[in-house]
Amino acid sequence: MNLVAAIFRSLGTIIQVYSTICLIRIFLTWVPQLNYSKVGQVFSMICDPYLNLFSRIRFLRIGMLDFSPILAFAILQALSTVFFKIANSGSISLAFVLSMIMVLIWNMFSSILILIFIILVIRLIVLLAKRNTTQFWYQVDTFSFKMSYPFAKIFTKNRGLSVAAATILTLFEIAVLYTAGRFAVYYLLKLISLIPF
């Protein structure tokens, strides 16, 4: 094994370990008792400088939802893949770089869509169970109305839209967007693979 391959393989492994630590840190923030424990503080010290670079990006925030960790994690995964590719093949092509950029963008976008879809399914269950709403669900409802209203007014003729109907319509829109995106990325990657260099 030559030295360059060993260096890139080591870098890829280090980034994979670091991305796992960042993922644990993200999950720790969901449990306040663990987040503020000594273990949580150690993870915070290691990961927050990197994660905070992405938390400043405004369009990754929708109300109380912060999607910046998804981008941070996706970039680490892409870097790790690039380093392992260089270690295994000894070179990197334009087609590979373009494919990685395409996959990175799609992984981030699809992760956000899947997360929003899951939140909206939970919201629909909460609505059907007739539970009291909180500020978080108000933010989710506002987002749902913003996504569904332009499409819904074609069918509702300005009669208004209930929260449940807006949520269902938004779920449908996300499913269509996700499916269309998968097909588009698949065919774009096929085109990119035809690049000879």
Domain ranges of the chain: 1-91, 93-197
Q: Tell me: pLDDT of 151 over 60.
A: yes
pLDDT band at 108 (very low <50, low <70, confident <90, very high): confident
**Res. 13: pLDDT tops 90:** yes
CB 122 within 8 A of CB 128: no
Question: Are the beta carbons of 148 and 173 closer than 8 angstroms?
Answer: yes
Give the whole-angstrom CA distance, residue 126 versus residue 121. 9
pTM to 2 decimal places: 0.66
Q: How many Cβ atoms from other residues are within 10 Å of residue 181's Cβ?
A: 15
Of 69, 64, 43, whose CA–CA distance to 54 is shortest? 69
